[in-house]
Amino acid sequence: MAGMATEGSQFDARQFDARMNEVLQADGGDTFFTSYDEICESFDAMGLQENLLRGIYAYGI
């Protein structure tokens, strides 16, 4: 199933969501900051490796 971690993986979606909620609430909950100024119109414009692009497009995003 898409979005599910494989068995033995260190990723826990519930723990991640809980931690992100803590971080956002500690920051006021309504402010999100990023230091990136560059906007890419497509994945192709990001200069990613071909095998990564194939994976992105195969996933259907």
16-57 tens-digit pLDDT:
888 888 877 775 656 666 777 888 888 888 889 999 999 888
Residue 27 included in any domain: yes
Query: Please, which pLDDT band fits residue 1 given cuts at 50, 70 and 90?
Result: very low
The domain tally of the chain equals: 1
Residue 5 included in any domain: no
Which one has a higher pLDDT value, 15 or 23?
15
Distances (CA, A) of 34 to 1, 31, 37, 38, 46: 31, 10, 8, 11, 17
**Token pair of 35, please?**
């230091």
Residue 33 included in any domain: yes
Residue 4 included in any domain: no
Residue 4: the pLDDT is 57
Q: Identify the domain containing residue 36 by its residue range.
A: 13-59
Distances (CA, A) of 1 to 15, 17, 26, 49, 57: 19, 19, 33, 25, 17
Instruction: For residue 1, give the 3-state DSSP assignment.
Output: coil
Residue 2 included in any domain: no
Residue 8: the pLDDT is 58
Residue 6 included in any domain: no
